[in-house]
Every structure is written in C-alpha cells, then in structure tokens.
C-alpha cells in the first residue's frame, strides 16, 4: 500500500516536470499554427534562405567552438590535475568568470581591442567569426571545464599516465590515445551544452554583426507574428537532431567503464 | 659491475627526507625486494628507478648507462602498479600491444608477441575482453604482460598483489616469479609483506624511515638480522632484556636464569642490559642435551596455528617467551599453569645492537 502511494507521488512529480517542459512548446506550436493556411508560417520560414543560412552558420561556429575549446581545456585540466592540483581552485574560479561578467562587456572588450591595428580582426568576415568563436569559448568555459574536470576525476589519470610513460609514450600520445578516449561521456556533455549556448546566443553575434541564428530569430520576431514561433520550434527540433548526431558519433559499445577493483 | 646500480640516492619532499643514501647493486636477472613498513620510502625508491621522481642527489645506472635524469619514456623500465592501471578503453590485446604500437613496431610483430604473452599469462582466450570484464588477478596478469611486451631492461612492481585475495595472491606471486625466471629479467619488487619478500626474492632490502637496514638473502635476513628493527620486522620474535654476566664468554642472565650466546658479546660490559632475540621455532619443549640453554617457567598460553602450536612460557614475574612445535596428534601438551623446561642451542640466541625497548615483549610482525 505504502509503496503504491510512493509510486503515485513519483508519477505526479514526473508529470509536473513534463508539463513544465512541454507546455511552452505546445503553446508555441498552437500559436504557430494560427497562421492561415495552418502551415504557412512553416513553409515561409523554410523558404527563407536566411533561416537555413544563419542556422548553418551557427552550427559551423558551434563545431569550431567545441573543437577549439576542447583543444584548450582538455590539456589544461589534465595538466592542472596531474601536476599542480593546488592550482585547481584558482583555475575553477577563472572558469566561472563568464557567469559574473556579462556578454556585453565581453563583446565590447573584444571589439575595442581587435578593431584597429595591429589586430584589425573586425575588418574581415573571417576575423569577426574568429572573434565570435573566441567569445563563445569564453561563454562555454564554465560548462566545458566542469564536464572535463569531472571526467578526469573519474579515471586514475596519474597511474594511467605513468603506465603509458613507462611504455615509452610522450605527452601527445598519452592525451590522444589514453586520456581523450576515456573522457568520451564528459566531452559529449560539454559539447551538448556548448552547442545549445551557441545556437541561442544573441548579444555577441549581434554586436559583431555576424549572420548567426540568434540575431536572425530576434529580427524575425520584430517583423513577423507567427514565423518566429515556427522557427523556434524548427530550430529546437534541429538542435535535438544535432545532439543525437553527436551522441551517435560518440557512442560506446561498452556499457560501463571501470578501473581496477577486484570483482 | 652490477646491472642496476643505485648509489647515494637521496630524495627529499620539502624538509622531509623520504629516501636517505640508498645504495644497491643488483646483478642481471636478479629478483630484489624492497621490504619495510608503510611510509619507509619503498615506493619513492621505485619511482626514482622508473623516472617518475628524480633524486636530489646520487645516481642510478642501468647496464652501465646513467639514467638518473632521463624522463620515464626515455628509459627502458617496465612498471606494474598496485591498482593495475590498465587502459579502460582498450581490450586486453590492445593494452598488451600498447608499448609496441608507441614504438611503431610492425602489426605482425605486435600480433605475434601479444599472442605469446597472453599464452604466457594463460589468458589467450581473453584477448578481446575489456579490463572491466576481468577479475583483479586477471587484470594484474595483463598489466604484467603489458609491462613485459616492450622487453624492458628492468621490471618494477609496486605491491602488485596487495589488492587481491590471499589465495590468488600466493598463486599469482609464484606465477610472477616463474615468468621472471623464464625471462631472466632484473626485477625490483616492493612489498610490506615479509612472507612475500622472503619467498620470492634472491635478495631482500629491508628499509625503515628512508634508510636501508639490511640487504641480504632471505635466509640471511631471517636468521641473521643485522639490527633489532630487522629482527622484529621479519618473522615472529622473542625480544628479551638480558644482563651481561661475562661478555668474553657470551654469558647472559634473563630473569636470573643464565644462558649462553655462541659468540662473545662485543661492545658490552658486564652488568649492562642488552636485548636478545630468539625465534619461536628454535626453542624446543624439552630439556635438551648438555650444553644447551635452558629456561624454566609456567605455561601461560597454548594456541593452535594449523601446522604448528605456539606456547607461551612466563619467566620470573615479567616477560614471556613464545615457542613453536609441530602439531602432532600424538603430542601431549602441558596444561596451562604447569612449569616446564624449554631449551635452545647457544647459536639461536642473537644479541642485538640496542637494548630492548620493551623488555620481554614478544614482537610479531607481518600478517
Ligand atoms: N609527492 C610527495 N610529496 C610529499 N611527501 C611524499 C610524496 N611522496 C611520498 N611522500 C612521503 O615520503 C614517505 C615515503 O613514501 P613512500 O610512498 O615511498 O612510502 P612506502 O614505503 O611506499 O609506503 P607504503 O607501504 O605505505 O606504500 C612518506 O612519508 C610519504 O608521506
Ligand atoms: Mg608504497
């Protein structure tokens, strides 16, 4: 009897969660279908070349951001944990700074420094996109660092490193063949979060005048009624598709990873 | 000239001296154990040979070549860790072949050698398993094969068996020794288990507080401990406070009962207190022939330890002496409280360097 009641409470909480998550989506869907004829908002959005163009641009930027921030963070977190564990709290603090410093401040700083010689990045498209990536690396830093750090803590990096070293492996080999493959789950979760951040970000992309998805969505909502709702839902679906694709690429045939321990 | 040579090796962590003036010369193919209590610097010494720590002074040579300051991946030294440290993302075969892949050896050579090594550790059918699918003992055998794959000049093992069950521990240690003999590889084995060190090694290095207490064969270490630390750390031991009666004749008195040492007692005057070490198995429960040492006192304890029975006899009103006799169903043991006479030859009484810390304490070490 008691168990039954417990499971009813559990289902109630679950239902509330589902409602919280899906009600806005359902409302948006409902609103987007009010256009006449019913799917006009969707057809017109999909026919707008700026929609697919900006989405594609943002996906590419997300890919570059994820790659670059992993290349930066994995060796750093690894080195800190292996060689200077005392500096860990300092590094952690630094990675939390994006929570404290607003994106507007960050982007004005970037523009001030990189819009004139000797570093006139903003004068070219590729330069501005590079600045955008740099900004996104900073924004995703707290999530990415935390994910990687947690992943590193779940394996015995010291012993694995020393075992590899004693067999003749250098640092690059160790990172590439031993550390990275064992961080798969951590890297995936970091990548998901970064992807979500990049697709929804408005401020930095807007000030750098990049044709990204965030500014496009914003512009749309100022000029149209039903289309923004439709585009939000489409992009929501596409984001999920992208995440599933990443998860599929990084899938693991093994069910669990365990180190040491007799059993 | 030895194969692996450590001379005047010293390692400090801040102000704390972890290893002090370590001197060891091993022959090619020798199996040497570092034995000592927790924190005595065994692992630190091993890690300096592997290159994971660098000594503050002194030098380390392998086959005449100085390796003191080489990074670990430039040395040719294999290491087996207590926690196995197998790569979780690789199968058994890829783990074993890792070192050869790093050294860019040919696919065929790798496949062949991995096959041989898996055969050697009796696990050829487990080649495609992942580490998490293996038992602890199996994981450690894979770790051993992996360390041996690149044909290291020296094999280092840091308490490789301490995470395993007692039964597997004994089986695996014999296997390690058999493989080591078969390959003739120079091996340094760290353990705090005296039985492991004594049963495996050609020579044992007993350490305490970062210093070497004694280096010798297992029988030298056990039968002729150089210091009271070695005597008490290795095996079970009776440590008795004795008053020197006549140093040149080796005559002593324990609780008023006179005994004799085989050799004159150097560096002590009569009347001084020294400590005498006696192994329980060298004392017998009988009067013994003329000329043997005899002690008399009541039995205070009888305990069965399987193949042997250990009795404790009280001397005077203080110390007790333990003695071992083989367990024989026909043996009639004296009841507790009965006074008995026990005997031991003069060679069995070992006069040690320092006075006994706790007079009459009988010190048991190990598991
Ligand atoms: N990196 C380090 N920094 C500071 N002190 C250290 C470090 N490594 C070891 N020590 C100290 O040096 C001493 C010797 O350590 P070591 O690990 O060599 O002992 P051990 O003989 O292997 O002991 P155990 O049997 O417990 O493994 C210990 O007191 C330890 O605290
Ligand atoms: Mg140790």
Whether B42 lines ligand 1, by a CB cut-off of 6 Å, is: yes
Higher pLDDT, A123 or B213: B213
Looking at residue B361, its pLDDT comes to 40
Looking at residue B359, its pLDDT comes to 38
Chain position carrying tokens 């972890």: B18
Pairing type for strands B31-35 and B186-191 reads parallel
Question: What are the φ/ψ torsions at residue B294 (nearest 5 degrees)?
Answer: -125, 140
Residue B79 in contact with partner chain A when CB distance is under 8 A: yes
Looking at residue A251, its pLDDT comes to 65
**Quick one: tokens of A107?**
């982007």
- Residue pair B232/B239 in contact by the 8 Å Cβ criterion: yes
Query: What is the spatial distance between Cα B327 and Cα A29, in angstroms, rounded to a whole number?
Result: 87
Reported confidence tier of residue A252, pLDDT bands at 50, 70, 90: low
Of B147, B157, B9, B177, the residue nearest B76 (C-alpha): B147
Phi-psi region of B271 (alpha: psi -120 to 50; beta: other; left: phi over 0): left
Burial class (CB in 10 A: 0-12, 13-18, 19+), B92: buried
Report domain extents, chain A: 51-261
Whole-angstrom CA distances from B77 to B98, B117, B278 are 15, 17, 41
Query: What is the spatial distance between Cα B349 and Cα B276, in angstroms, rounded to a whole number?
Result: 6
- Smallest-distance ligand from the CA of A83: 1
Query: What is the spatial distance between Cα B78 and Cα B81, in angstroms, rounded to a whole number?
Result: 10
ipTM: 0.79
Reported confidence tier of residue A4, pLDDT bands at 50, 70, 90: low
Q: In the predicted model, what is the mean pLDDT of residues A128-146?
A: 89
Residue B139 in contact with partner chain A when CB distance is under 8 A: yes
Looking at residue B360, its pLDDT comes to 38
Give the model confidence (pLDDT) of A220-239 as tens digits. 878 777 888 888 888 788 77
- Smallest-distance ligand from the CA of B35: 1
pLDDT above 60 for A34 = yes
Residue-averaged pLDDT of chain B: 89
CB pair distance less than 8 Å for B132 and A162 = no
Ligand 1, atom 8, residue with closest C-alpha: B44
Task: Supply the DSSP symbol for B334.
Answer: P
Query: What is the spatial distance between Cα B198 and Cα B266, in angstroms, rounded to a whole number?
Result: 29
Q: In the predicted model, what is the mean pLDDT of residues A131-142?
A: 90
SS (H, E, C) B258-281: EEECCCCCCCCCCCCEEEEEECHH
| Residue B308: half-sphere exposure toward Cβ, Cα within 13 Å | 12
Query: What is the spatial distance between Cα B98 and Cα B231, in angstroms, rounded to a whole number?
Result: 43
Which ligand 1 atom is nearest residue B42's CA? 21
Query: What is the spatial distance between Cα A182 and Cα B87, in angstroms, rounded to a whole number?
Result: 8
Question: What are the φ/ψ torsions at residue B258 (nearest 5 degrees)?
Answer: -85, 135
pLDDT above 70 for A62 = yes
Query: What is the spatial distance between Cα A126 and Cα A130, in angstroms, rounded to a whole number?
Result: 6
Q: How large is the C-alpha radius of gyration of chain B?
A: 25
**Quick one: tokens of B48?**
């300096």
User: Is the domain covering A51-261 a CATH 1.10.3720.10 domain?
Assistant: yes
Interface A-B, measured as beta-carbon pairs within 8 A, has a size of 99
Ligand 1, atom 4, residue with closest C-alpha: B13
Pocket test for ligand 1, best of B18, B53, B207 (most atoms within 8 A of CB): B18
Tell me how close the Cα of B89 comes to any Cα of chain A, in angstroms. 6
Residue B99 in contact with partner chain A when CB distance is under 8 A: yes
Tell me how close the Cα of B74 comes to any Cα of chain A, in angstroms. 6
Chain position carrying tokens 């679950």: A14
Q: Which of A47-51, A75-79, B252-256 has the highest mean pLDDT?
A: A75-79
Whether B39 lines ligand 1, by a CB cut-off of 6 Å, is: yes
Residues 169-228 of A with CB under 8 A from B: 169-170, 173, 177-178, 181-182, 184
Higher pLDDT, B8 or B247: B8
Q: In the predicted model, what is the mean pLDDT of residues B337-346?
A: 89
pLDDT above 60 for A63 = yes
Tell me how close the Cα of A79 comes to any Cα of chain B, in angstroms. 15
Pocket test for ligand 1, best of B11, B37, B40, B194 (most atoms within 8 A of CB): B40
Tell me how close the Cα of B70 comes to any Cα of chain A, in angstroms. 12
Residue B150 in contact with partner chain A when CB distance is under 8 A: yes
Give the model confidence (pLDDT) of A169-194 as tens digits. 999 999 999 999 999 888 888 888 88
pLDDT above 80 for A255 = no
Query: What is the spatial distance between Cα B335 and Cα B54, in angstroms, rounded to a whole number?
Result: 59
pLDDT above 50 for A123 = yes
Chain position carrying tokens 């300092």: A90
Give the model confidence (pLDDT) of B60-115 as tens digits. 999 999 999 999 999 999 999 999 999 999 999 999 999 999 999 999 999 999 99
Residue to mutate among B85, B97, B149, with most A CBs inside 10 A, is B85
Partner residue facing A166 (CB), from B78, B87, B163: B78
Higher pLDDT, B198 or B328: B198
Q: In the predicted model, what is the mean pLDDT of residues B138-165?
A: 94
Minimal-distance CA residue of chain B relative to A160: B85
Partner residue facing B87 (CB), from A160, A168, A254: A160
- Give distance in angstroms: CA of B11 to centre of ligand 1: 11
Which segment of A109-118, A195-204, B280-289 scores lowest on mean pLDDT? A109-118
């Amino acid at each position: 009897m008691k168990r039954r009641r417990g499971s009813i409470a559990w289902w109630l909480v679950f239902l509330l969660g589902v409602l919280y998550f899906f009600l806005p989506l359902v409302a948006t869907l409902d609103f987007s279908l009010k256009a006449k004829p019913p799917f006009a908002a969707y057809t017109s959005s999909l026919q707008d070349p700026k929609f697919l163009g900006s989405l594609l641009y943002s996906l590419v930027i997300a890919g570059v951001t994820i790659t670059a921030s992993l290349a930066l963070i994995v060796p750093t977190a690894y080195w800190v944990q292996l060689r200077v564990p005392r500096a860990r709290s300092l590094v952690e603090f630094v990675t939390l700074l994006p929570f404290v410093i607003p994106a507007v401040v960050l982007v004005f700083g970037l523009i001030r420094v990189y819009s004139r010689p000797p570093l006139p990045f903003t004068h070219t498209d590729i330069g501005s996109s590079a600045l955008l990536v740099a900004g996104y690396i900073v924004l995703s830093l707290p999530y990415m660092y935390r994910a990687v750090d947690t992943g590193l803590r779940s394996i015995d990096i010291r012993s694995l490193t020393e075992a590899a070293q004693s067999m003749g492996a250098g640092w690059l080999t160790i990172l590439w063949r031993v550390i990275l493959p064992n961080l798969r789950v951590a890297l995936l979760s970091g990548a998901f979060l970064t992807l979500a951040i990049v697709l929804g970000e408005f401020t930095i992309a807007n000030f750098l005048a990049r044709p990204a998805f965030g500014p496009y969505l914003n512009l749309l909502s100022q000029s149209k009624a039903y289309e923004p709702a439709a585009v939000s839902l489409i992009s929501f679906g596409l984001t999920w598709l992208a995440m599933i694709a990443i998860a599929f690429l990084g899938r693991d045939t093994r069910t669990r990873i365990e180190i040491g321990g007799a059993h | 000239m030895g194969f692996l040579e450590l001379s005047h090796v010293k390692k400090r962590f801040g102000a704390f001296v972890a290893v002090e003036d370590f001197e060891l010369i091993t022959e090619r193919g020798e199996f040497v154990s570092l034995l000592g209590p927790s924190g005595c610097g065994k692992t630190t010494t091993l890690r300096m040979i592997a290159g994971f720590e660098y000594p503050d002074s002194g030098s380390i040579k392998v086959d005449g070549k100085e390796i003191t300051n080489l990074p670990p991946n430039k040395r040719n030294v294999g290491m087996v860790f207590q926690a196995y440290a197998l790569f979780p993302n690789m199968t058994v075969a890829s783990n074993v072949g890792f070192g050869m892949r790093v050294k860019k050896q040919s696919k065929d050579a790798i496949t062949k050698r991995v096959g041989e090594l898996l055969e050697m550790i009796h696990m050829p059918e487990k080649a495609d398993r992942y580490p998490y699918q293996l038992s602890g003992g199996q994981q450690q055998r894979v770790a051993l094969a992996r360390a041996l794959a690149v044909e290291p000049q020296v094999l280092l093992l840091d308490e490789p068996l301490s995470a395993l069950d007692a039964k597997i521990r004994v089986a695996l240690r014999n296997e390690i020794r058999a493989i080591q003999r078969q390959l003739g590889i120079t091996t340094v084995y760290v353990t705090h288990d005296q039985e492991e060190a004594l049963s495996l090694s050609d020579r044992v290095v007993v350490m305490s507080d970062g210093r070497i207490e004694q280096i010798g064969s297992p029988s030298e270490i056990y039968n002729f401990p150089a210091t009271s630390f070695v005597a008490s750390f290795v095996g079970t031991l009776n440590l008795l406070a004795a008053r020197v009666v006549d140093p040149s004749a080796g005559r002593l008195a324990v609780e008023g009962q006179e005994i004799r040492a085989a050799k004159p007692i150097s560096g002590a005057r009569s009347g001084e207190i020294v400590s005498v070490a006696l192994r329980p198995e060298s004392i017998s429960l009988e009067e013994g022939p003329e000329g043997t040492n005899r002690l008399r006192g009541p039995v205070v304890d009888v305990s069965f330890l399987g193949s042997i029975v250990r009795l404790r006899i009280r001397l005077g009103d203080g110390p007790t002496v333990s003695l071992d006799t083989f367990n024989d169903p026909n043996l009639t043991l004296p009841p507790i409280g009965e006074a008995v006479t026990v005997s031991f030859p003069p060679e069995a009484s070992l006069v040690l360097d320092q006075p006994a810390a706790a007079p009459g304490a009988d010190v048991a070490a190990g598991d």
